[in-house]
Amino acid sequence: MSSFGHIPAPHEGYTNMKIRLNGDDYITKAASTVSELLVELNINPMRVAVELNMVIVKKAEYGSAALKDGDNVEVVNFVGGG
């Protein structure tokens, strides 16, 4: 089971949405947009591509792309390959 499986105690300012993130369940902490999610995950937005419910989110739209319960989010980057 992933370390993201546990639900943190409800806290003011916490969104606590349950989403699918890269194939695993994930409970958001303070994130309500793609941009905030990347901050929460400590991911450099310039190095990745994000899909929200199978639709690519352009980098310029990270800030306005709102997350909701049950969303399916994929965050990909480049790895070694031929």
Partner 1 sequence: MESASTDKLIINGVEFKSRLWVGTGKYKDFEETKKAIEASGADMVTVAVRRVNIFDSKSPNLLDYIDPKIYKILPNTAGCYNVEDALRYARLGREAGISDFVKLEVIGDDKTLFPDVCGLLKATEILAKEGFIVLPYSTDDLIVAQRLVNAGAAAVMPLGAPIGSGLGIRNPYNIKIILETVKGVPIIVDAGVGTASDAAIAMELGCDAVLINTGIAGAAEPIMMAAAMKHAVIAGRFAYKAGRIQRRLYASASSPFDGML
Task: Kindly report the number of other CB atoms within 10 A of residue 26's CB atom.
Answer: 21
Contact 40, 29 (CB under 8 A): yes
Which of 56, 63, 68, 70 is the binder for partner 1 (CB under 8 A)?
56
Q: What does the alpha-carbon distance between residue 33 and residue 68 come to, in Å, rounded to a whole number?
A: 9
- Binding to partner 1 by CB under 8 A, coded x per residue (else -) over 16-45, reads -----xxx--x--------------xxxx-
- Contact window for partner 1 (CB under 8 A) among 9-17, 28-36, 46-54, 64-72: 46-54
**Under 8 Å CB-to-CB from 53, ≥6 apart: which residues?**
71, 72
| Backbone phi, psi, residue 8, to 5° | -65, 155
Residue among 14, 20, 33, 51 that touches partner 1 (CB under 8 A): 51
Q: Could you list the residues that contact partner 1 (CB under 8 A)?
A: 2-4, 21-23, 26, 41-44, 47-51, 56, 58-59, 74-82
